[in-house]
Amino acid sequence: MSLSVTTLPGGMSAEEFLRDYWQKKPLLIQQAFPEFESPLSADELAGLSLEEEVESRIVLEQGATPWELRHGPFTEDDYRTLPERDWTLLVQAVDQFVPEVAELLQAFRFLPSWRLDDVMISYAAPGGSVGPHYDNYDVFLLQGHGHRRWKVGQPCGPDSPLLPHPDLRILSDFEQQDEWVLAPGDMLYLPPGLAHYGIAEDACMTYSIGFRAPSHGEILTHFSDFLSQYLGDHQRYSDAGLSLPADPAQIDDQTVERLQRLILELVQDKEALGTWFGRYMTEPRFPEMITAQELDESLLNDALDQGYGLVRNPSARLAWRQESNEYLMLFASGEHCLLPTRLLPLVQLICNQDYLDADQLGSWRADGEAVLLLEQLLGKGDLLLEEDEDE
């Protein structure tokens, strides 16, 4: 089983992409997905935006205010009153609702899967755009239908001037460097922080395959929250050997250095950092879509015998880490469990394959610990039983 893919859609080697482009500069890949047909129609996308549990927005260039932002869920009436042109519907995390969209993500396994965020799909009426802006994340923009003119501009940051807007961060200056018109199957990679401006040439759909990167602030606060659970109230700031203060009101450098040593010592714990990171990066976006289920004994084996397979719950996130020679840690939707290293091939199957049937599970079915792990993941709702449609 090959775990990662070594070429990008369109054929560039992953090595070249990671060396020259990832997090560095844009890359246009014409016909990355030749003859691409959007697995979802514009009507189906609009249909998703009527659902309560789906996150959606509409941006109207000339709405009640310039660049008016509306939040879903929408109604059919909302769509009837939209103008002919210059608006965009954006639907978040479509991969969690439409399996054919989730399948696309297999092509991005030249990157760590825990870096993936979601697939956002936009539908734009002719002229539609969300304005010139920059994102803090890497993104692959795959043209799903129709044509979009992408203009790429200057590197931006927190000091880049923005238009006054309560919710949207639209750049007031856009210094165009490049421009391309993307047709279905074309894809543009953009690193974080680069200005971009996509305008629909005709009614079009764009798939944004977005990545996640926790901010330094999030890393620090969440890791220290995690660590502090294991610290006792008796573990306190201490200053034995204190020298006589020149001024009792002064916080001197020695005090600050004492604190610095204490903090560095606390965050030095590599195992704790690995455990926290795995849990944090696998936290699901929609935890309510991962529901615990009651399992009858032998349900798993019976289902596999009847031609069912195991699929990853599209809302679940899975990753693993080698803890020591003997143990590995499996992270599943924000939780972790310690497993013997001999289960590694099974853990890799679970984390990397979309579908596992009786054949793929092979001899694992006769292994008590392996069956227990599969049952636990099924019970938590990270794995689901599904009938193989190809049978």
The binding site for Co ion (CB under 5 A) comprises: 135
> Of these partners, Co ion, ligand SIN, none, which one is at the site of residue 275 (CB under 5 to 8 Å by kind)?
none
DSSP-derived letter for residue 242 is P
Which of 188, 204, 88, 197 is CA-nearest to residue 142? 188
**Which is closer to ligand SIN, CB of 195 or CB of 377?**
195
CA dist 26 and 24 (Å) reads 7
**Which is closer to ligand SIN, CB of 126 or CB of 379?**
126
What's the min distance (Å) between Cβ of 386 and ligand SIN? 31
198 binds ligand SIN (CB under 6 A): yes
> Of these partners, Co ion, ligand SIN, none, which one is at the site of residue 130 (CB under 5 to 8 Å by kind)?
ligand SIN
Residues 48-78 as b or e (16 or more Cβ within 10 Å = b): bbeeeebbbbbbbbebeeebbbbebebeeeb
Q: Are 331 and 320 in contact (CB under 8 A)?
A: yes
Which one of 38, 49, 56, 88 is in contact with ligand SIN (CB under 6 A)? 88
151 binds ligand SIN (CB under 6 A): no
**Which is closer to Co ion, CB of 135 or CB of 186?**
135
**Which is closer to ligand SIN, CB of 141 or CB of 329?**
141
> Of these partners, Co ion, ligand SIN, none, which one is at the site of residue 122 (CB under 5 to 8 Å by kind)?
ligand SIN
Which one of 56, 160, 208, 282 is in contact with ligand SIN (CB under 6 A)? 208
> Of these partners, Co ion, ligand SIN, none, which one is at the site of residue 88 (CB under 5 to 8 Å by kind)?
ligand SIN
Selected range binding ligand SIN among 91-99, 122-130, 177-185, 227-235, rule: CB under 6 A: 122-130
What's the min distance (Å) between Cβ of 327 and ligand SIN? 40
**Which is closer to ligand SIN, CB of 43 or CB of 390?**
43
- Tell how strand 66-71 and strand 187-190 pair up: unpaired
- The burial of 257, by beta-carbon neighbours within 10 Å (0-12 exposed, 13-18 middle, 19 or more buried), is given as exposed
**Which is closer to ligand SIN, CB of 88 or CB of 282?**
88
Q: Report the 10 Å Cβ neighbour count for 28.
A: 16
Which one of 48, 89, 130, 304 is in contact with ligand SIN (CB under 6 A)? 130
Q: Report the 10 Å Cβ neighbour count for 373.
A: 21
CA dist 304 and 359 (Å) reads 9
Show the binding pattern over residues 29-48: x = contacts ligand SIN (CB under 6 A), - = does not: --------------------
- Which position has the token pair 């020695």? 254
144 binds ligand SIN (CB under 6 A): no
What's the min distance (Å) between Cβ of 181 and ligand SIN? 14
* Structure-derived torsion over alpha carbons of residues 334, 338, 342, 346, reported in degrees to the nearest 10: -20
Q: Which element (helix H / strand E) includes 190? A: strand 187-190
Which one of 57, 145, 196, 312 is in contact with ligand SIN (CB under 6 A)? 196
Concatenating the DSSP letter of every residue in 262-329 gives HHHHHHT-HHHHHHHHHHHHT--S-GGGS------TTHHHHHHHTTEEEEE-TT--EEEEE-SSSEEE
Q: Report the 10 Å Cβ neighbour count for 187.
A: 24
Binding site for ligand SIN (CB under 6 A): 88, 122, 124, 130, 135, 139, 196, 198, 206, 208
